[in-house]
A = this chain, B = another copy of it.
Amino acid sequence: MKTASGDPALGGLAAILLRDSCGCAECRDAGSGQRLGGVSDLPADVSVIETTTAGDSVTVIFGPDGHRAVFSRSWLAEQLSPPDDDRVEDAKRLWAASDLGPLPAQSWPGYLADDGQRGRCLAALLREGFFLLRGVPARPGTVLDVAASLGYVRETNYGRLFDVRVEATPANLAYTGLPIAPHTDNPYRDPVPTVQLLHCLATAVEGGDSGLVDGFMAAARLRDENPAAFEILTRTPVTFAYSDATAELRATRPMIGVDPRGRIREVRLNHRSMQPLRPGRERPVEETVAFYAAYRAFAEQVTRPDLMLTFRLAPGDCVVFDNTRILHARTGFAATGQRHLQGCYADLDGAASTLAVLRRKRGATG
């Protein structure tokens, strides 16, 4: 069967897209599958001049140069599905604590021994934004083993890992017994660490409970209830800063980051390190007032009681969460207590890769 361009087998895909996707040995490196040339190497006036269908294969001859490409029907069908960005709200299950259901939790030995359990944890990190491991040996440094099980440690000026406990001269309120409102970590860093791990080595006698809030849910509710406030927070750059004896960090980004289609992709909220808005001289004072009102509305969403999941970390518990989405909090505790967590940062791309490779292995054996 031969037909001209416009063959339904091609699903209406543009000729230039098809030509750029050719997988022949002239276009792609046989070993790595990487493209050998760029778009500039292709004729600008590319067209489909002939299509031949045989079984699962569709062969296309392109004009003006007569280049020939073979596509499978499944590949062609796949191209018709919308783009998948696994970091935006559409790819997530947004939750309030009241409707979350069972905690995504596993035991550390089970997680280590069973790829299926590990896969479920990593899937929860991507979908619900967090998971909890129990029975991680409460020995200093073990948080790095947890990070290595899912990706790569992001080292920062705080070290490869950091201790969260009461210090005599704290450079950060985390190192006091004060309560900490829901926040994302390190918004003064760009790129921000996208995964945070907190491993409990010892607990306070009273207080120091942990809270998690789905910041995407809070942002989505803000959009529902107060679209103008949501919009202001997506387009107003805010500076966050941190300074101590050895570091001076600042980053400027909106509190709610959206993709080009307006979908929620990232939240940053941290009262401690937020800098005053810099409206510049030209902007009317009303814009500043509107920004602070929007910020207040978002901060209030975040602290609605039905949103916050509260739990108490016991020694050996390790919580792993998406720091671009999940806000974490803690209640106050007596500064004389022995509460001691160790934390470290990692990144979502590594965790998503680990999950994809696990799934590939299971697909191959299953």
Binding site for B on A (CB under 8 A): 12-14, 16-17, 20-21, 29, 31-40, 42, 44, 79-87, 152-157, 169-173, 176, 178, 181, 188-192, 194, 234-237, 239, 243-244, 246-254, 259-261, 271-274, 276-278, 280-281, 285, 288-289, 292-293, 295-296, 299-300, 303, 347-350, 352-353, 356-357, 360
| Contact residues in B for A252 (Cβ distance below 8 Å) | 83-87
Cross-chain contact A83 with B280 (CB below 8 angstroms): yes
Least Cβ–Cβ distance between A98 and chain B, in angstroms:
21
Q: Considering the chains assembled together, what is the distance between the CA atoms of A224 and B271 in angstroms?
A: 40
- Residue of A171, A288, A349 ringed by the most chain B CB atoms within 10 A: A349
Q: Is there contact, CB below 8 Å, between B20 and A276?
A: yes
Closest to A18 in B: B276
Across the interface, do B285 and A14 meet the contact criterion of CB distance under 8 Å? yes
A325 to nearest B CB, angstroms?
Answer: 13
How far is B14's CA from A352's CA once the two chains are assembled, in angstroms? Answer: 43
Residues of B near A155 (CB, < 8 A) are 152-153, 155
**A79–B260 CB distance below 8 A:** no
B35 near A271 (CB under 8 angstroms)? yes
* Min C-beta distance of A221 to chain B, whole Å: 15
Is the pair A251, B349 in contact by a Cβ cutoff of 8 Å? yes
A285 / chain B contacts, CB cutoff of 8 Å? 12-14
- Given contacts A83-B237, A170-B31, A271-B38, whether A248 and B278 have CB atoms under 8 Å apart is no
Q: In the complex, which residues of chain B have a beta carbon less than 8 angstroms from the beta carbon of A244?
A: 32
Closest Cβ neighbor of A191 among chain B residues: B191
Residues on the B chain within 8 Å of A31, using CB:
169-171
CB-CB under 8 A from A40, the residues of chain B are 296, 299-300, 303
Of A21, A254, A261, A277, most B-chain CB atoms within 10 Å = A277
Q: How long is the Cα–Cα vector from A235 to B12 in the complex, in angstroms?
A: 22
Select one of B82, B172, B280, B353 contacting A247, CB under 8 A: B353
Chain B residues closer than 8 Å to A274, beta-carbon distance: 35
A85 contacts across to B, CB distance below 8 A: 237, 239, 252-253
| Between-chain CB contacts (< 8 Å), 29 pairs | A12-B285, A14-B288, A16-B288, A16-B289, A16-B292, A17-B276, A17-B277, A17-B292, A20-B292, A31-B170, A35-B271, A36-B173, A38-B181, A39-B292, A39-B296, A81-B278, A82-B278, A82-B281, A83-B277, A83-B280, A85-B252, A85-B253, A191-B191, A191-B192, A191-B349, A235-B260, A237-B259, A237-B260, A254-B260
Name the residue on B nearest A80 (C-beta). B281
Residue of B nearest to A358 (CB): B248
| Nearest CB of B to A169, in Å | 6
Contacts of A300 in B (CB 8 A): 40
Q: Given known contacts A20-B276, A173-B34, is B357 in contact with A248 (CB within 8 Å)?
A: yes
Minimum CB–CB distance for A250 against chain B, Å: 8
Q: A14-B288, A278-B81, A360-B248 are in contact. Are A349 and B190 (CB under 8 A)?
A: yes
Chain B nearest CB: distance from A317 CB in Å?
Answer: 26
Contact, CB under 8 Å: A246 / B357: yes
